[in-house]
Structure 1
Amino acid sequence: MAPVFCGVDLGSTNVKVLLLDEDGRVLSRKACRTPRLAEPDGVATDAEALLCMVEALMIAAFHDAGLSSPLAAVAAAGVGEDGVPVDGQGLALDRAIPWFDRRASALAQAMAARAPWRNAPLPVALDYSRTAAKWAWARQHRPEALAAATSWVALTDYPAARWSGRCFMSESLAARTACWHVGERRWMDDLLADCRAPPLPAVVPGGTVLGSLHSPRLEAAGVANRKTAVVAGGHDHPVAAFAIRQRHPTAIVDSMGTAELIYAEIPEDNGQPPPHPYFAFSRPVWGTGIACLGVTELSGALQPLIEDASDLGSAFRAIMAGGSVPGGPGQGPVVRNRLEEMTWDTARRLAVLAELGVPPGPLFTGGGWARSDSFLRLRASIFGRDIHIVTEAELSAFGAAFLAAHAAGFSPPVLLGERSISPDPDWARLYAG
């Protein structure tokens, strides 16, 4: 049988699995809600329950695709900051606190005011979402688990660590802790000491083959065997961009999901750029250079419009359903003004990329908020450039499967569907003026 590769996306909302064959065809997609457990001060995730869910989705996708031979390789992408302390067997000692949980807000604010953080070349701004803040919070509120830990594993890396029997951290996830020096590829010891980090595993680049897959459940189902390669993946946005950039090496990716994230790469490895208010820095999941990631909370701005009971909400829902954006550039109505404000913010971020050393390239977009052509035409008119739309709905899982294939020595074609939206000439002229 021809080799088949599996990509896993451990997202904030959903867990997704995608199977890709050596001809670049998607054979199956499966998804379910990310498991959450209520806690007195927020929510959390049981890492073993998450692993069981991933394996159940892999088995379902395997049977859905009608496969009879074990998978050739598997890699996982996902959220950047969640993680768990583990024991000497690699088993989780505590639940994972999700990145969006705000219980560490006050502590992170106090940490950020201290000298080690004020003067450090941080890859990301220190706030409640970073792993460093979660480590400091856990030392105060859950000290037993961290005291017993022999290592720490990011939640996205947990399935691969359990399958391979190897504790590790994908490099694009190390950057999300706020303690990794991206340019010099090392931990900043003074920051680790300040947040009282647990022992940390080896940091490995995306695409590293960790070993063969060992899982009684997957082996019994015929999904995997001792020849199935386990591959390090990483942060979901860089993994998704990796797939697009295989066809368009200079592509800039504007992901319009729960958060809007602009992804681009500085090709020359000249060290970590200085902190910037618009961008965080990381490493690409494959290859050299510096990854630039600019994040805004898009859903926080647009979701209230979807749920609004007034005429404003009705107008926005009509746009997202395929209707035209009413009014003209800078002339309202209110729904247009809101969309223009958000788009101008993105335009300012795109303009900064050239200052950071990112070469010009085509602009790609995807995600749930990119489904309205009229909204995208407004954005293209403000940007003054075409927007290319990727039609693969599970781009992070697709990228993870593609990364697994590359690491295993295969080069499937990138069969991503694409279409383009051009600026409205009249709108573009008025916006440019």
Structure 2
Amino acid sequence: MAAVGPLARVARLGSSICRNHRLILNRSSQRRGIASCIDPAHGLTDEQKEFQKVAFDFAANEMAPHMAEWDQKEIFPVETMRKAAQLGFGGIYVQPDVGGSGLSRLDTSVIFEALSTGCVSTTAYISIHNMCAWMIDTFGNNEQREKFCPDLCSMEKFASYCLTEPGSGSDAASLLTSAQRKGDHYILNGSKAFISGGGDTDVYVVMCRTGSKGPKGISCVVVEKGTLGLSFGKKEQKVGWNSQPTRAVIFEDCAVPVTNRLGEEGQGFSIAMKGLNGGRINIASCSLGAAHACVQLARDHLLVRKQFGETLSNNQFLQFKLAEMATKLVASRLLVREAATALQENRSDAVSLCSMAKLFATDECFNICNQALQMHGGYGYLKDYAVQQFVRDIRVHQILEGTNEVMRMIISRNLLTES
């Protein structure tokens, strides 16, 4: 897809970063270029390489130096994200007429992978924000698109995705948050759990029950911060993802205009699932970035750390482990990019491939990061070293956007029902 919008303008100006960019990942790592066998630029068009350079440059200069501080102090880096939005990262696959960059799913995957080398937690929130903006852009009418999308694409306002409830995680179709219509408003009652950005964001894309039990009784409404009856739970204390707040979102006789409904009544579950197909690619891409960074961190550590009179890079067992890590990284990347292409082309295998990519990449990339920590020995367990934060931040990727157990259900159902 031809590039347009703010990201394209930045890309065409060129980036100061070269292909052999160097990542600012921890205090002790010696900087080295990317090994050619894991170079994430392989197979990309010249235009995509420019997007990637812009994202890597931003990750290295604006995110990585602050990654540890954001994690330890639990800072939601609003101004940094707004800088990212100036590059077009606030609405990457939103249409240009409402401020988006109009790029493809593959372009988006490339960008999120690069940004995640600087901070997984912040990039993962940006990916959720992008998913919400896309849902409004795709399923909203012109008035809704013009009302919400420009501020979301500029990140003047931030968005949260509200599907999960305390009693319905993987079984999302059983959600209980109700929306009873009274005149020109819906009255919402219920709560959502584990909402990224909850309490700090401005726009909540909420799945609620307007009809009978099951998926066909679910609708999607946009709830704006400040609406009477909207409140938030305590800030959750998490293992990772600490640069983005997570809270319960609570509705108590919360009156939302019917004009804020996306699509028709009963269409909400379908909208939610279509959003999640892209969300699964996005979160898998964030895992790729973490794994890519950790392969490089592990390599750098093996080249300088000495034991028994020689560097660890001379240990054949560790050489083989590093080779396996690199192989799994590239295999994961290829699957994610294939799934992104299938989703962009609306292919019949897109849902299954998105599930496969999410399952495989988040599992394997976590294993890569965990192995990198092991290679660092005791140093890997210190917060002075970035590898431990990558491990903590991507562990949740195996759970959210549909658990990896649910991904297996989706894939097997497709295999067993297709004739």
TM norm structure 1: 0.26
Larger fraction in strand: 1
TM norm structure 2: 0.27
Larger fraction in helix: 2
